[in-house]
Amino acid sequence: MTLAYQRLGINIDHVATLRNARGGIHPDPVQAALLAEKTGADGITAHLREDRRHIVDSDISRLMAQLSRPLNLEMAAIDEMVEIALRTKPHACCLVPEKRTERTTEGGLEVAGDLARISDVAARLKQAGIRVSLFIEPDERQVRAAQAAGAPVIELHTGTYAEAGGGEGEQLNRIRSAAALAAEIGLECHAGHGLTYANVKPVAAIANIVELNIGHFLMGEALFVGLEASIREMRRLMDEARS
Ligand code: PXP
């Protein structure tokens, strides 16, 4: 049985990381986003961090002005970011935990333990017509809390699965169970973090996951084969996994 098409969102943060290493304008993450769109990306993801270490505010405005596909703005659940989101009105906001000292998003958002605050942020974004997604661990408690917080979408953190080597095993089963629970209680389920050619297929094969968001590996691979080729290969593997 062929599963329904799974969307691929391309995270362009690390084009900005490279640009910022020299403080100039090259390489341009917006140019990468436009090329990703042309190559079949179903959406573009960008994480505006509090410390602006990669994507900066002007990137978000330029993306909003130039993209034809939906922008998924990843951000911390803090007032500064909510105000930016309400001003720029991206298609979606994915709320992520953020620590200044971390290299990347370590672990999922603690929704269950911070329900009132996350619900309030979700409500403010939803009121502005923004689709709210919560980046959480594949854990029953967090999936149920996401529903309680009023988020229509969750994104399951696949970092632990990736670090464990990918493939069959406990971590994949956790993702499967969380995705099944999400479907059962009416949440749209996405996944991402640490996905590569080597580990994407078992996650892409989970019927209830309708979107993957992938960045770092594709940008690294693009150095060797070009961005279009790296995105095309990821797309091919996802389609193969679902056929
Ligand atoms: N989804 C979310 C919510 C993320 O924070 C990230 C990393 O910024 C990704 C997906 C993409 O992860 P990676 O860059 O490892 O592919």
DSSP code per residue over 40-79: T-SEEEEE--TT-SSS-HHHHHHHHHH-SSPEEEEE-SSH
Cα of 224 to ligand 1 centre, how many Å?
21
174 is a domain residue: yes
CATH number of the CATH domain containing 49: 3.20.20.70
What is the identity of the amino acid at 68? S
139 is a domain residue: yes
Classify burial at 26, counting beta carbons within 10 Å of its beta carbon; exposed 0-12, middle 13-18, buried 19 or more: exposed
For residue 98, the model assigns a pLDDT of 84
pLDDT at 119 > cutoff 80:
yes
Phi, psi of 229, rounded to the nearest 5 degrees: -65, -40
Read off the pLDDT of residues 71-113 as tens digits, 9 standing for 90 and up.
999 999 999 999 999 999 999 999 999 876 777 777 899 999 9
Read off the pLDDT of residues 231-243 as tens digits, 9 standing for 90 and up.
999 999 999 999 9
Q: Decide if 73 contacts 82 (C-beta within 8 A).
A: no
Q: Using a 6 Å cutoff on CB, does residue 74 contact ligand 1? A: yes
Of all protein residues, the one whose alpha carbon is nearest to atom 3 of ligand 1 is 135
Q: Using a 6 Å cutoff on CB, does residue 214 contact ligand 1? A: yes
Of all protein residues, the one whose alpha carbon is nearest to atom 12 of ligand 1 is 193
DSSP structure class, residue 131: E
Does the model's pTM come out above 0.85?
yes
Catalytic residue selected from 14, 47, 157, 190: 47
Residue 47 a catalytic site member: yes
For residue 100, the model assigns a pLDDT of 67
Q: Using a 6 Å cutoff on CB, does residue 95 contact ligand 1? A: no
**What are the DSSP E strand ranges found in the chain?**
7-11, 43-47, 71-75, 92-95, 131-136, 153-157, 188-192, 209-214
Count of positions (residues) in the chain: 243
For residue 211, the model assigns a pLDDT of 98
Catalytic residue selected from 37, 74, 98, 211: 74
Instruction: With H, G, I as helix, E, B as strand and everything else as coil, classify residue 144.
Output: helix
Cα of 11 to ligand 1 centre, how many Å?
7
129 is a domain residue: yes
Read off the pLDDT of residues 202-211 as tens digits, 9 standing for 90 and up.
999 999 999 9
pLDDT at 1 > cutoff 70:
yes
Range of lowest pLDDT (44-53, 89-98, 104-113, 189-198): 104-113
155 is a domain residue: yes
Cα of 181 to ligand 1 centre, how many Å?
22
Residue 193 a catalytic site member: yes
**What are the DSSP E strand ranges found in 80-208?**
92-95, 131-136, 153-157, 188-192
For residue 107, the model assigns a pLDDT of 86
2 is a domain residue: no
Domain coverage including residue 157: 7-242
25 is a domain residue: yes
Read off the pLDDT of residues 161-183 as tens digits, 9 standing for 90 and up.
999 999 999 999 999 999 999 99
